[in-house]
Amino acid sequence: MRIVVALLSIVLLLAASAAPAADRVVASTLDNGLRVLLLEDHRSPIVSFQVWYRVGSRDEHRGATGIAHFLEHLMFKGTPARGPKQFARLVEENGGQDNAFTSQDVTSYFVDIAADKIDLVIELEADRMQNLLLDPKEINAEREVVIEERRTRTEDDPSGFLGEEVGSIAFKAHPYGSPIIGWMEDIKRITPAEIRAFYKTYYVPNNAIVVAVGDFRAPAVLEKIQKTFGRIPRAQTPPPVLAVEPTQNGERRVIVKKEAELPVVYMAWHVPNHRANDAPALEVLSTILSGGRASRLYRDLVYQRQLALEAGGDYSYFALDPNLFWFWATPMPGQTSETLEAELAKHMERLKTEPVTDEELARAKNQIESAFVFQEDSVHRRAALLARFELIGGYAQTDSFMTKIRAVTAADLTRVAGAWFAPERRSVGVLLPKPR
C-alpha cells in the first residue's frame, strides 16, 4: 500500500507540472464552422496536425455499413491538384508520417512532421477536404483492399469475429451494432455515387475539427488555416443520429462454431457514456477488472489459477452515445468455455457485494492518471486528447477529467456494479472451435 501511495504521489506531482493546460489552447471557430484548436509545444521542432471529422460507423444506414471506413481509404487517392498516392509521397519526402483511422464516432487523419513543413500539411488537408477525386476505377480497386482487410482482421480472426457477433446482438436499434469495417455484403455493393454523397455530406468544414500541437506560433498558424480552410464554404449540417437503444429485457446469447485453436468467451453490458455521473466509476471499474497484468481478471484467471490464456475488457468512456462494457477471455488448453463464462460472471457478482480494496482503488487511479499524464510527452497524443474532449463537449474538460476519477470511491464501484451489470441485461458470445 505504501508503494502504491508513493507512486500516486509522484504521478500527482507530474500532473501538476505537465497538466493539459487547456487555458493555453488557442481556440477559434471559422466563419464556415470549422473548429480549430492550437497548442504551442516548443520542446522539439515537430508538429502533429490532425483533422477529425464527426462521422463514423454510427452515421451509416443499413445496407451501407462500412462506407465511412471505405471513404477513409479513398482520402489518399488524390485530388485534381495532386494525384493518387501523392499525399503520402509528399509527406514522406518531407520526413513526416501520416495515417488515419475510423471509429464508431469519428474519422481522423493526422500528419506528424517537422514544424517548418506545417504549411504543406495545411494545404494538403484543405485540398482533400473539398476536392477528392473519387474516381470509380480507384473506388473499385480499393474495394478489394477493404474486402481483404475485413477478411484478415475479422473473418480470419476468431476473437474479432466473435466480438462483431456480440455487438450485433447487443444493439437492436442503434448503429453501434454494425461493424466499423462494414458487413462484407455491403462493402461489395456500395456504389461510387453513395460514397460521393457521403463525402459531400460529412466532409465539410462545419463537421470537422482541426487540431495542431507543436513548435509553431499559434496566431500565425491560425491565419494560415483561415486562408486555406476558410475558403471552403459551409455546408448543410449533417443529419443527427436519432436512434436510442431500448432497454435490454433479457440475456442475449450467440454461439459461433469456427475454425480456431481455442474457444473465446465475450460478455457485454449496456452502460452510459461520459455524460452520466457513473462514467468515472465505470472507467475505474474497467481498470480494476482488466487494466493490465495487475488487474483482477489477469491476476486471477491467467496468472494465479491458469484458467485463461488471456483475459481483458474495455469501456468506451469517450463514446458519443451509450455503449458497451466488455469482458473477454480465452481458456487455456484443457479448460472449457463454460468454466471461463462462469468465472467472468463470478467476478462481476463479487463487485456487487464485496468492496474493492484501498490498494486496488489506488492502483487503478494511478494507472489512469499516469496514462493521462504521460500523453503530455507526445505532441501527437496531446492533439488527439484535445480532439477527444472537444468531441464530447469541449477541450477544457481535459482539466476536470482526473478530478472526477480521483473522486471515485469503493462505495461508488459497488453501487455502479449493482446498477448496470444485471445478468438479464448481458449479451454473451461463445466461439467453439471446429475441426480444420
One domain, residues 303 and 371 = yes
The residue range of the domain holding 408 is 252-434
Q: Which helix (H) or strand (E) holds 177?
A: none
One domain, residues 271 and 198 = no
Is 3 contained in some domain? no
One domain, residues 89 and 183 = yes
| Dist. CA 134–CA 393, nearest whole Å | 33
> Residue 64 to residues 1, 194, 198, 352, 381: CA-CA distances in angstroms?
52, 8, 10, 41, 32
Is 13 contained in some domain? no
Is 126 contained in some domain? yes
One domain, residues 419 and 376 = yes
| Dist. CA 167–CA 410, nearest whole Å | 30
Q: Are 210 and 228 in contact (CB under 8 A)?
A: no
Q: What are the grid coordinates assigned to 212, written together?
A: 495542431
One domain, residues 323 and 175 = no
Is 2 contained in some domain? no
Q: How is residue 387 annotated by DSSP?
A: H
Which residues of the chain are under the pLDDT cut of 50?
1-20
Q: Are 96 and 111 in contact (CB under 8 A)?
A: yes
Beta bridge partners of 259: 434
One domain, residues 155 and 280 = no
Active-site entry in 60, 72, 125, 142: 72
CATH code of the domain in which 91 resides: 3.30.830.10
Output the pLDDT for position 399: 86
One domain, residues 341 and 420 = yes
Output the pLDDT for position 375: 86
Q: Which helix (H) or strand (E) holds 52?
A: strand 46-53
Beta bridge partners of 28: 36
Q: How is residue 400 annotated by DSSP?
A: T
Q: What's the number of CA atoms in the CB half-sphere (13 Å) around residue 435?
A: 0
* Number of domains comprising the chain: 2
One domain, residues 86 and 224 = yes
Of the residues 177, 197, 231, the one at which a domain ends: 231
Q: Are 273 and 323 in contact (CB under 8 A)?
A: yes
One domain, residues 178 and 276 = no
CA nearest to 330, candidates 230, 260, 393: 260
| Dist. CA 302–CA 147, nearest whole Å | 35
Q: Does residue 72 have an active-site annotation?
A: yes
Cell 442503434 found at = 174
CB atoms within 10 A of CB 26: 15
Is 9 contained in some domain? no
**Total count of residues recorded for the chain:** 436
One domain, residues 222 and 286 = no
CB atoms within 10 A of CB 410: 16
One domain, residues 211 and 256 = no
Is 10 contained in some domain? no
Is 247 contained in some domain? no
One domain, residues 320 and 365 = yes
State the amino acid at position 289 in one-letter form. Answer: L
Q: What is the DSSP string of 326-375?
A: EEEEEEPTT--HHHHHHHHHHHHHHHHHSPPPHHHHHHHHHHHHHHHHHG
Please enumerate in sequence order all residues whose Cβ is within 8 A of that of 226, keeping only pairs 6 or more positions apart, or say none. 30
pLDDT tens readout for residues 292-338: 898 999 999 999 999 999 999 999 999 999 999 999 999 999 999 99
> Residue 98 to residues 121, 124, 206, 213, 386: CA-CA distances in angstroms?
10, 12, 23, 15, 19
| Dist. CA 55–CA 108, nearest whole Å | 9
Q: What is the pTM of this model?
A: 0.93
Output the pLDDT for position 21: 60
Is 278 contained in some domain? yes
Of the residues 169, 197, 231, the one at which a domain ends: 231
Three-class SS of residue 324?
strand
Q: Which helix (H) or strand (E) holds 143?
A: helix 136-150
